[in-house]
A and B are shown apart, each in its own frame.
Chain A
């Protein structure tokens, strides 16, 4: 019993002596290990959180794009089945996250698709938002053209043009025309008569009927950029062997000038000046001719069933003219006129008509207008005239005679200001425009004649016009915006 008592006392003493040291050691070591562990975990957690956010952000973009593609799929499917597509909204999900999409119709100019993708929960979740403009294809992909002709173009009498010109055949610019832009006569000659001006480049691909020149720059006329007389489809694109060099001479009358380089397979003739390098006897290939843009609209892309007036069909020109009179000349919407016997005596006459909004006229008859207004257009509008009129064989379009065989003949205040962008399209042409008009837009035709102080400025508003191009709609602009 005593022994037990002593042992217990000694033991208590020993524990009393050692408990403090061990405890302190354990506490310190534990704190150090804890700090170390905490450090590692904090770093790991931080990196992990950051990585998760980045991953969610990347995935949110993919999810929002999935929403865009879903919207495009719906629009394309309905357009293909000739069904009008109005504004709509929907939501959906992928394996990665959710999307919500708002599609807003912009008249006949296309759609705005607004898609937001969301991935992750509230703390690490990320939203990305895409705004896509889904619009008709470009009339001329990658470029704006003021005039396009699948054959020739003639301008005369002090016209003022701004914008590039393309003709598969010849281009003739006469009598004081001032053109700010470039000219391509892809398979034929180019002639600039006295006191004319082309601010940009000139590129020809052929030569005149006499075989005496490819480019003719008249007295005191100016080409601001370079000039190039090329050869259409040369047998040998390196040497142009077999070609008659004299065909590709460039004639420069006194006082004329070319601001940039001159390149030709022929010679330079005359006393004009060249600002850049002169490369004679130089073989270059002409640009390939281009087809007219297609016009193949689906009725459903125009015809909103909730709007009885946005799309009207007429079985004859007479029916259309009667309707026009009843409208007091005010026109808007899409007007399709199918004439059983189209002719100049039986043509659409828009003289005195007044645009009150976006207007598209599609017809197989000729279209004539002697003065047309746009008083009813509130802000900006688009006026599209499509004539598939095929003139009788061996007839011609004379800009001086109102009843000559033009597919579209527009004169006298055709478009008095540029609130309206105009597209004149005649796949069987030609188109004639004249007399002191200001017009903003593009003329696309098989043959173009423009004269008498006509002012024409290329306008990007008609670059994308529904019905033109190989598809109805395409992505015109893709942009990420803040969610």
Chain B
């Protein structure tokens, strides 16, 4: 009976403290790693979401530009005014960068935001790769679209997507 009680009397406070200390020493770097990983994952998620949105915007722009029927000579590096095919119908579409927001409007309607927190000062180039013209030439063959934006959670610098779009209908 005595022997049995001795076996079940547990550990001393000192033993517990030592064990806890060792446990904490082991746990701290793991928790630190977990915290870091969580933060990184959240930043990556935000960055990834921003990238998905940016890709979506880029897909929309490149599709409109690719099948543009004409580009208004008054277009600039921050504004692209064109007649293009939308849903099988010829429509006037305007992309405009203003105040860090890139908007798209159809047939003079209310512009809708396409990308926000845009850091690029120039989005459209009409003579890639030189990009010296400030307005489209009379007979453009391609347009470069380049968008850089800052995600809400900063991580790894601004996101930038750029592509040269060949004009199929001009």
Contacts and interface: CB of A to CB of B under 8 A. Distances in A.
A478 B68 CA distance: 9
B67 A39 contact: no
B27 A28 contact: yes
A46 to B, nearest CB: 7
Contacts of B152: none
Contacts of A477: 85, 169
Given A39-B37, A479-B85, A480-B66, A29 B26 contact: yes
A164 B36 CA distance: 70
Contacts, number: 54
A40 to B, nearest CB: 7
B91 interface: no
Interface string A354-390: 0000000000000000000000000000000000000
A13 B41 CA distance: 45
Nearest to A17: B11
Contacts of A21: 19, 23
Interface string B159-170: 000000000110
Contacts of B169: 475, 477-478
Contact of A36 (B26, B27, B33, B44): B33
Contacts of A54: 55
Interface string B37-79: 1100100110010001001000100010011000000000000
B133 interface: no
Contact of B67 (A25, A50, A479): A479
A25 B48 contact: no
Given A29-B27, A36-B33, A480-B66, A50 B168 contact: no
Interface residues of A, number: 25
B21 interface: no
B131 interface: no
B128 to A, nearest CB: 18
Contacts of A33: 30
A6 to B, nearest CB: 11
A25 B55 contact: no
Chain B contact residues: helix, strand, loop or mixed:
helix
A54 B59 CA distance: 10
A32 B38 CA distance: 12
A478 B23 contact: no
Interface residues of A, dominant DSSP: helix
Nearest to B48: A47
Contacts of A481: 88
Contacts of B88: 479, 481
Given A40-B37, A481-B88, A32 B30 contact: yes
Contacts of B33: 32, 36
A54 to B, nearest CB: 6
A25 B25 CA distance: 11
Nearest to B10: A17
Contacts of B23: 21, 25
Contacts of B59: 57
A47 B168 CA distance: 31
Nearest to A47: B48
Given A478-B169, A480-B63, A32 B34 contact: yes
Contacts of A325: none
A12 to B, nearest CB: 9
A43 B45 contact: yes
Given A21-B19, A480-B63, A480-B67, A475 B168 contact: yes
Interface string A464-483: 00000000000101111100
Contacts of A475: 168-169
A16 interface: yes
A29 B7 contact: no
A269 interface: no
B64 to A, nearest CB: 10
Contacts of A27: none
A7 to B, nearest CB: 15
Contacts of B63: 480
B30 A29 contact: yes
Nearest to A50: B52
A478 B67 contact: yes
B127 to A, nearest CB: 20
B31 interface: yes
Closest 5 pairs (CB-CB, A-B): A478-B168, A32-B30, A36-B37, A479-B85, A39-B41
Given A35-B34, A36-B33, 17 more contacts: A13-B7, A25-B26, A29-B27, A32-B27, A32-B31, A36-B34, A36-B37, A39-B37, A39-B38, A43-B41, A46-B48, A475-B168, A479-B67, A479-B88, A480-B63, A480-B66, A481-B88
30 contacts: A17-B10, A21-B19, A21-B23, A25-B23, A28-B27, A29-B26, A32-B27, A32-B30, A32-B31, A32-B33, A35-B34, A36-B30, A36-B34, A36-B37, A39-B37, A39-B38, A46-B48, A47-B48, A50-B48, A50-B52, A475-B169, A477-B85, A477-B169, A478-B67, A478-B168, A479-B85, A480-B63, A480-B66, A480-B67, A481-B88
